[in-house]
Structures are given as structure tokens and as C-alpha cells.
């Protein structure tokens, strides 16, 4: 946490990346499909106009190179905006797949920032 903001409570840095997600709640309703706005090894943010209440338990499927299964809990609710979600449990192989995906995504974003930073405006 040393390279994060002093008020930052997250254990891992979130990366702005859209990943397809399927969510199932305890209520047994049909699955809800969407995408992440950002993602880390310990949580994500999902944009939705109908967010879940804080404390809602979720079963999630993230679609990266593979399907990652996650048990999660809603920790923030922004009405008509979305939810902050904390990952509670996932299998070691799912965690490894997510870690590899996030590493590659972060590297790609860093490369893009460097590329854009080297460009000079044409006059």
C-alpha cells in the first residue's frame, strides 16, 4: 500500500479495464450481465443504474482468458451509478488467472502511457 493515496483503503491497485461479468445474487433471480469499470485482485467496480444494496452477497463470473468464479460482497452503493465490490473467496487457480490477467493489463496500460507521452503535438 506504500504507493497509494494516504486515504486509500484498498489492498490492491485497481486498473481501469472493462471485463464482462455475470452476477448471481442470493435472491435466486436470473443472472445479471455487465462489465467492470475497474478491477483488482481484491475487488472491482461495476457500473449499473440499479445497484445492489451494501452487504449483498454475490457469486460472480469474470470472463478473462478463462472464466474466473468469485464469491463477493457489495461494499459501496452509488445510486444510479454502480457498486464497489470486494472479493471474498476464489479458488487458487482462479486467483492466479486473475493475477496474470491484471499484470498483462497493467503492462499494456503502462506501455500506452509511455507511447502517448513520447508523442509531441504537430504544429
Q: What is the pLDDT of residues 3-25, one digit of tens each?
A: 444 444 556 788 999 999 999 98
Q: How many domains does the chain have?
A: 1
Q: What is the pLDDT of residue 57?
A: 95
Confidence (pTM): 0.80
**Tens digit of each residue's pLDDT (9 = 90 or more) over 61-98:** 999 989 999 999 999 999 999 999 999 999 999 999 99
- Residues in Cβ contact with 61 at an 8 Å cutoff, skipping those fewer than 6 apart: 21, 22, 23, 67, 68, 69, 70
Asked if residue 3 belongs to a domain, the reply is no
- Assess contact for 62 and 33: CB atoms under 8 A: no
- Assess contact for 2 and 13: CB atoms under 8 A: no
Asked if residue 71 belongs to a domain, the reply is yes
Asked if residue 15 belongs to a domain, the reply is no
Asked if residue 123 belongs to a domain, the reply is no
Asked if residue 56 belongs to a domain, the reply is yes
Q: What is the pLDDT of residue 13?
A: 81
CATH at residue 107: 2.40.10.220
Q: What is the pLDDT of residue 37?
A: 96
Asked if residue 73 belongs to a domain, the reply is yes
**Tens digit of each residue's pLDDT (9 = 90 or more) over 34-49:** 999 999 999 999 998 8
Q: What is the pLDDT of residue 55?
A: 96
Asked if residue 6 belongs to a domain, the reply is no
Asked if residue 10 belongs to a domain, the reply is no
What is the DSSP secondary-structure string of 22-72?
EEEETT-PPPEEEEEEEE-SSEEEEE-SSPPPTT-EEEEEEESSSEEEEEE
The boundaries of the domain holding residue 99 are 20-118
Amino acid at each position: 500500500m506504500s504507493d497509494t493515496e494516504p486515504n486509500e483503503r484498498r489492498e490492491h491497485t485497481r486498473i481501469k479495464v472493462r471485463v464482462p461479468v455475470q452476477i448471481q445474487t442470493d435472491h435466486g433471480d436470473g443472472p445479471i450481465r455487465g462489465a467492470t469499470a475497474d478491477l483488482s485482485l481484491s475487488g472491482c467496480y461495476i457500473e449499473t443504474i440499479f445497484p445492489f444494496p451494501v452487504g449483498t452477497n454475490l457469486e460472480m463470473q469474470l470472463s478473462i482468458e478463462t472464466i474466473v468464479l468469485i464469491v463477493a460482497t457489495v461494499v459501496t452503493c452509488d445510486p444510479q451509478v454502480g457498486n464497489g465490490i470486494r472479493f471474498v473467496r476464489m479458488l487458487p487457480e482462479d486467483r492466479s488467472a486473475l493475477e496474470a490477467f491484471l499484470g498483462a493489463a497493467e503492462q499494456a496500460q503502462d506501455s500506452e502511457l509511455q507511447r502517448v507521452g513520447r508523442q509531441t503535438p504537430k504544429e
